[in-house]
Structure formats: structure tokens, C-alpha cells
Structure 1
Amino acid sequence: MAGPLDGIRVIDLTSNVMGPFASLQLADMGADVWKVEAPGGDAIRTVGPYRHRGMSSNFLHLNRNKRSIALDLKHPDGQAAVRRMIESADVVMHSSRPKAMARLGLSYADVAELNPRIIYCGAYGFGQDGPYADRPAYDDLIQAATGMTVLQSRRSGPPQNVATPIADRVVGLAAAMAVLAALVERDRSGVGQEVQVPMYETFAQLVMGDHLGGLSFEPQLGDWGYARSLDSGRRPYRTSDDGYVAVNMYIDKHWHAFFEVSGHPEMITDPRYADVHARIENQSDLYDFLGRTFETKPAAEWMKLLVDADIPAIEMNTPATLVTDPHMAAVDFFAQEQHPTEGLIRTIGIPQRFSRTEPALRRHTPRLGEQSVELLTEAGYTADEITELVNRGVAIVADDQEES
């Protein structure tokens, strides 16, 4: 057994980032994920650098441990193939608007009729009870709509997005967690259910948990926003050798130790910095002090002082230096593997550890339709039926794909 979800079968109809990141969590935990792609493939296959078209870096890191089947779901026989797969599955995941799924004959009602034990998870833009229900949604839109872009502007000027598709990935994690919760409940009841994971509401929960602030009360008690996070001074600090160090001094012990090692012990008894409440009132002054102080020594010297004093700190990485970070190297997080078509690639590790059912990188990221024949066979199709589907373009196999 490789992973705690060994034996769970997932029919994955998602594409791009949010849905595939959700199914990746399940695949990494041992689930058998059948990635159903359109004949042209998941759009993310061509996003990022690649050695062969359709196998981009973004796709590689979102779709390992899965098997790919390419089907034309606009064709009745393609829809019939998915329905046959669903009969023996545990989970169906999609990231399309519900009306689109209904047009394919793959609504929850349709699927539950085939398999009452199915967990049917839809991860899409907006909750279906509101006026935005039928709108398309993407990460940039959700960041703007939930206030994330405005929060960024409090620190840096005009509204701007976080420099990663954070809404896609956070909602993907939420979708994976919701599927797991539904599977646990099914073990008790024996019956499946539909799970809806809307991007808008899910990401709003993440953003507003910190920043609802004074709007938490009626009547309102002050402004929205968590002032400590919004202060532009809260950042990694430049050192004398042009390195950067991040520190997070939260309690009195940390601050007192820093005042000592930085050569300013008199600040320990300064009433402006005596306790957490005083420091919050004067946080901008403190951040300015940190900025000036860190510029007096090189990063390595600061790190020794801070670590020896048990002050929470770490040297800032870039993506390039993170892959060679000594801790990451020791845990083999960015390992290298030989992909059968893409050559030597660097993988991203599975961070969780299990004492009995350890997850593993079991399968390389598949080419489009690499397992089409294999999965159709497992779904009960004969060799002649599969040949007919391929000849009519309903199913696509990897050998038919352009590789460069």
C-alpha cells in the first residue's frame, strides 16, 4: 500500500489549477486518480516551459500520481464511457459550472442514479444560491472580489494580485478536505452525497478571517484589516551584504533577546516597547528600527546571533536558492527523477509523513491519453470496442499526440 487512500478511485474531470491541485492531494495520498481530459488536453499542459509540447512544468507538478484518459465528452459515446467509469468509482470531481455538467448528462442527480455511494465534488466559482451563480471565475477575479488585491495595496500602492494563484490552490486544498470528510461520512452511512466548494466563499473565508476586524461587531468597532499584517514595514530586512533576513518576534522574550543581541539593551525598559500592546501602538517605529539595524551586519552573522538567541528567524530564499536550501536537501524535498519522455526533472516532494501508510511518488506525470486503453479496459470495454472509440476520435491515445 502506498498512501492512506489506497483503494479509493477518483474520476477527475477538472482542469487548469484549482481542480487538479485538489485531485493531486488525493493522488499523492494513494488514491487512483483517473484524469479525464478533452482531446486537446488540459489547458495547463502548455503553461510554463516544456521539452515536449503538452508536458509543461506547471502540468508536471499538478498531475503526477494520476492516469490520463482523453475523451470527447461532447460525443455521446464519450459521455457513456465516463458514466461507465463512474459506476465503480468512489469520487467524481469537476470544476465546471453545474449547468455545463447537466448538459453532459453528468449532474449529481445523473451520477447518483448510476452510483448511490459516489462522492460528487464540484469546485467552481460561486455558490449556487447567489446572483453570481452562473458567472465564470478565475484566480485573479476571486483575489479582487474578496479584497485580497486591496489588502496588498495597503502595503505597496495600487491594488495588485498576490504573485501566485493563491485562490486556486487554497480552494483546491479545501476541495480535497471536503472530499475526505464526505468519504468518512460515507463509511458511516453507506451513502454518497454532493459536495459544493465555491471559490468566492471559500477564499473569502481565508481573507476575512484576519481582516474582518472591526466589522466583526455591530455596531462596528473600528476599521477592517489586521494592522500588523498590513504594515509595509513587516517584511524581510536587507543586510549589509545585500542578503535578507526574515524575523518574527512575537513575545516579550523574543524582543528582549533581540534588543540585547543588536546592541540596544536600553530598549528593553523603554515604555514604548515594554509589552505587546505598546509595541503594536509603535509598530511602524519598530519596523523602521529593524530596517536600520539589519543593515549593519551580513546575513550569516545575523543568523548566527538570532539562532543562538532562539529568536525566530530565517534567511530569505529565492525559488532558485530554495531548491538548494540545506534543510530541503536533507529531507530530499526537491528530488530528481528520470521521466520516461521528459528526461531528468526536479519533483516537488510530498510534505506529509505517515508512520504506516507512507505516500509515495508512484506514477510519473502522464502524457495526454497515456492510459486511455488501460482505463477503458478497466472500465469493462473490450479491445474491439476500444479500437472503435479510438478510430472515431472519441478516445485519444498518447501515441497519437504530437510530442515536440
Structure 2
Amino acid sequence: MSDLGQNAGPLAGVRVLDLTSVIMGPVCTQILADYGATVIKVEPPEGDVMRHAGSKRAAGMGSMFLHVNQGKQSVVLDLKREADIARLREMLPAFDVLVHNVRPQAMRRLGLDDEAVRKLNPTLVYVELTGYADGGPMHGRAAYDDVIQAQTGLADLFARQTGGPPQYVPALIADRVTGLTAAHATIAALHGRQHTGRGDTLRVSMFETIAAFILGDHLGGASFDPAAGPMGYSRLLTPHRKPYKTKDGYIAAVVYNDKHWRSFFEAIGEVSTLEADARFQTAAARADNYDTIYGYLSDVMATRTTEEWVALLEGADIPHARVNRVEDLLDDAQLRAVGFFDERNFGDVGQRRIVARFRSPAARNDLATPAPSLGAEQQKLDTEYGRPETCDAASIGKGCGDASNCQRYQP
């Protein structure tokens, strides 16, 4: 592992072997890179398929790839070739974490399942990202964001709220939430290894992760046995929970607690309505009447312009925002003020980097590099990522199973 450098990030010195592609896995490993880990992305000769997705200024450097692979290094290995599989196995003792989203049966065929890898590196944190958890009838199937949104009930929630057809969230929410979950699980496993000296195997599945994500809000009455009511959180499912139409546009506003409601009625000069209607007065009463109270807001918001509401809600200290388009984020005053976009590192690809994922006095956002071109660090396969000097070269890559042969990597 590399030496810790000043302001290098809390995961400086951690080496991650990244066998992931598309979105879910790369989100996980980019977060680790953001925290200072050295992430070596292993790609097939044709590269990660996401290199071709989205807008691009250079071949193989599409926008979708750029924003989940920042701060990584790319090497090429063809895992259809025995020599490249052996080369990958030779690299394993040099790493702290291996992350993959290859189907488990394929990893077993390659001799890269957790049991086989553990013989080469007993202290490795092995992270397996799948569509469905092992032990279930769907384990081993491919999963995609749209399928998971449908399968977990997320798409149907739109239908329940609006009375229209099921819809997908127009963002890869299942991929990204699962990648985020895997990242924090990996960090926890690395922390645990400091105390036990042992590696760990983490299995993070998209279906189960998103099911938990959705049911945390909507398990509702089924949280109890026998059930205490229907499933679904009524506040999120009322058809009035949406950007409110104003005289000339739309605005988001959350009139939520007792203070907000009194401030709101004072601002619009209707305190008598609040005092006359118990449904607005307490959190318990509002929870039983979300359709009514949100419907009231919907009607009232239509009586003023967006600018009028911004001024009024600002003065009343009520959370609100204009309804932006994604294009508006490029010039958003908040994002600009905190340095959310790093535009100093354009390079040949012209990448605008998103860097403000977390803030810490111990880490600098400007250490991250743009996403790598395919095989950009290929020369390091025979230098920095080669066989460790203190290991038994005859046994590395052949499942020696004896950690004493790898003294450099003892806990």
C-alpha cells in the first residue's frame, strides 16, 4: 500500500481492485476513490460498456462513464484468456479490497470467487454486487435499474399517487443507492479489519437493497403482526404532494411542523382558518388528513406568482425552492459558491468534474483526477501492481493458501 500523504483523504493507502462496470459497481468504487483510495479499474479490451453512453467529445469517454469513474486508474485484462486471469490472481495480494459485479457463477468459473481469492489474500475485503441475494430463486440473474424499480413497487407508487400508469424515476436510483450502500459497507469492513486482522466477504444485492429502501417508507401497517393498517405512507402518496402550480409557474414548499403552519397562515393573513380547523393544528391531526391539508396548499398556491411566493415563504422561514431544470444547476449560486464543479482539469476529453461529494479538513477535493482513458495505467501491471517482492513467486497466483508467503500484506 502507498504511504499516506498530507491531505490525501481518509482512505489513503487503501488499494481497491475494481472489476465493476456500468453504474452500480462504479458508483461504489468512485466513492472509495473520492475518499482517497487507489482504485485500479480492470477493463476488458473493449472497455466498460458505459464508455459509449451519453454525450462525448472523445471516443470511449461518454458522459455516463466520466461521472462514475473519476479518480480511478484503468488497466486492461481479458478475462477470457488464461494468461490474463493468472495475471489478475498475481495482483490480488497487493490489494485491500476487490469489488465486482460479475455474476457469481462466472467468478467461480474464473477461480475468482471469495473462497479461492481468500487463499491468495486472507485479509482482502471481497465485495460482490449482484441483482438478487444468494439463497433465493432469482440469484444469478442479471438485473437492471428499470427492472428493479418495477419489481420493488417503486414504479407502482407513481400510479398509486397520481391515478395514472406506473412510471420509472428518470434517474438510475437503484444502481446508485446500491452502489452507495456497498461503499459504506466496504468502509465498515475495512474498519473491522483493523481490529480483527481478517478480511471479510460482503454481498450487496440490488433487489434487496431497494426493497429495504422503499419499504422503509411504505411498509406502513404491515410493520405489525397483525397488520395495523394498509401499507404506504399517506404523506408521500397524496396526489397533492407535488410542485405547486402558481399563477405563472411552479414552486416547491414544505409546510411541515407546527411553527411552519402558523407562520404560513400568518403570512397569508388566514390565522383564523388555522384556529378554526383542528386538522391543521397538530402533527397527529395532519398525519390523518394529508389529502386535505396538501389540497388546501395546492389551492392557495395558485393565487400568487412564483416570485410572490418566494418572497412570502422566505420571510416566513418555510422551506421552499423554485422548480429548476437540470440545466439550471450549472449556474446555481449555491453549487458555484461551494466549488461543486471543478473545471480546472479539462484535459483532452473536456470533462467537467463533480467533486463536492463530501467535505473534510483532512481531504482535498482537488486530488481526484478525471475518469481514465482505457488502459491509461497499463504499464503499472509490471511495476507497481506486479508480484510483491517479499512473496513466494512460485506460489502466488496458484492458491498458495499460506499467508506467510506474503509477509508484506500481513495484518
2:167 pairs with 1:160: yes
- Return the offset for 1:246: 1.2
In structure 2, give the amino acid aligned to 1:378.
E
More displaced, 54-63 or 310-319? 310-319
Match in the other structure for 2:37: 31
Name the CA distance, whole Å, in 1 between partners of 2:181 and 2:74: 23
Distance 2:238 2:143 in 1: 30
> Within 5 Å, which residues of 2 pair with 1:207-356?
207-242=214-249, 244-269=250-275, 270-343=277-350, 345-356=351-362
- Aligned with residue 51 of structure 1, among 49, 53, 57: 57
| Segments ≥4 residues shifted beyond 6 Å | none
- TM-score (normalizing by structure 1): 0.90
| Equivalent in the alignment of 2:110 | 104
Secondary structure of the corresponding residue to residue 320 of structure 1: helix
1:66-81 alignment, distance < 5 Å: 66-81=72-87
The equivalent of 1:126 in structure 2 is 132
Map of 2:394 onto structure 1: none
Q: Gapped runs of 5+ residues in structure 1?
A: 382-404
Partner of 1:377: 383
Instruction: Name the CA shift for 1:331/1:90 in 2 (closer, same or farther; >3 Å).
Output: same
Tell me by how many angstroms 1:361 deviates: 4.1
> What one-letter code is carried by the residue in structure 1 that aligns with 2:239?
S
Indicate the larger mover: 224-233 or 348-357.
348-357
| 1:40, distance to aligned residue in structure 2 (A) | 0.8
Equivalenced residues, count: 380
User: Hey, what's the Cα distance between the residues in 1 that align with 2:367 and 2:301?
Assistant: 41
Mapped to 1, the partners of 2:355 and 2:347 lie a distance apart of: 19
Distance in 1, Cα, partners of 2:312 & 2:381? 57
* Paired AA for residue 218 in structure 1: D
Please report how far the alpha carbon of residue 359 of structure 1 lies from its aligned counterpart in structure 2 after TM superposition: 4.3
Q: Compare 81-90 and 263-272 and name the one that shifted more.
A: 263-272
Q: Which residue of 1 aligns with 2:200?
A: 193
Asked if structure 2 preserves the Cα contact closer than 8 Å seen for 1:64 and 1:361, the reply is no
Deviations 1:335-364 (A, max 9, x none): 323332213x32212231112234444222
Q: Deviations over 1:37-91 (max 9, x none)?
A: 1111111111111111210111111101000011101101111121122111000
Determine the structure 2 residue equivalent to 1:17.
23
Residue 24 of structure 1 deviates from its aligned partner by 0.6
SS of the aligned residue for 1:379 comes to coil
Taking the aligned partners of 1:61 and 1:337, their CA distance within structure 2 comes to 16
Give secondary structure in 1 for the equivalent of 2:98: strand
- Whether contact under 8 Å (2:130, 2:140) holds in the other structure is no
C-alpha contact 1:28 1:350 (8 A) present in aligned 2: no
How far is 1:239 from its partner?
A: 2.3
Tell me, in whole angstroms, the C-alpha distance in 2 between the residues paired with 1:340 and 1:363.
10
Q: How many Å separate the matches in 2 of 1:376 and 1:268?
A: 73
What is the aligned-residue identity percentage? 44
> Residues of 2 paired with 1:338 and 1:10: CA distance?
24
**Structure 1 CA distance, aligned partners of 2:90 and 2:248?**
63
Work out whether residues 64 and 364 of structure 1, in 8 Å CA contact, stay in contact via their aligned partners in 2: yes
Partner of 1:184: 191
Equivalent position amino acid for 2:302 in 1: E
What SS does the corresponding residue of 1:159 show, helix, strand or coil?
Answer: coil
Is the CA contact (8 Å cut-off) linking 1:44 and 1:56 kept in structure 2? yes
- Residue in 1 that maps onto 2:408: none
Q: Counterparts of 2:229 and 2:338 in 1: how far apart (Å)?
A: 46
For 2:104, the aligned partner's letter is P
Q: Is the CA contact 2:28–2:180 (under 8 Å) kept in the aligned structure 1?
A: yes
For residue 357 of structure 1, the aligned residue among 352, 360, 363 is 363
- Secondary structure at the residue paired with 2:341? coil
Residues of 1 paired with 2:308 and 2:167: CA distance?
35
Higher mean alpha-carbon deviation, 39-48 vs 153-162, is at 153-162
SS at match of 1:214: helix
1:170 to 177, 185, 190: 177
Answer with 263-272 or 186-195: which moved more.
263-272
Q: Is the 8 A contact 1:350 1:360 kept in 2?
A: no
1:284 offset after TM fit, Å?
A: 1.8
Unaligned runs of 5+ in 2: 388-411
Kindly provide the amino acid, as one letter, of the partner of residue 75 in structure 1.
R
Contact 1:4 1:358 in 2 (8 A): no
1:3 is aligned to 2:3: no
Match of 1:388 in 2: none
8 A contact 1:252–1:276 mirrored in 2: yes
Would the aligned equivalents of 1:30 and 1:359 in 2 still touch at CA under 8 Å? no
Aligned to 1:84: 90
> Partners in 2 of 1:164 and 1:154 — Cα distance?
20
| One-letter amino acid of the structure 1 residue matched with residue 325 of structure 2 | T
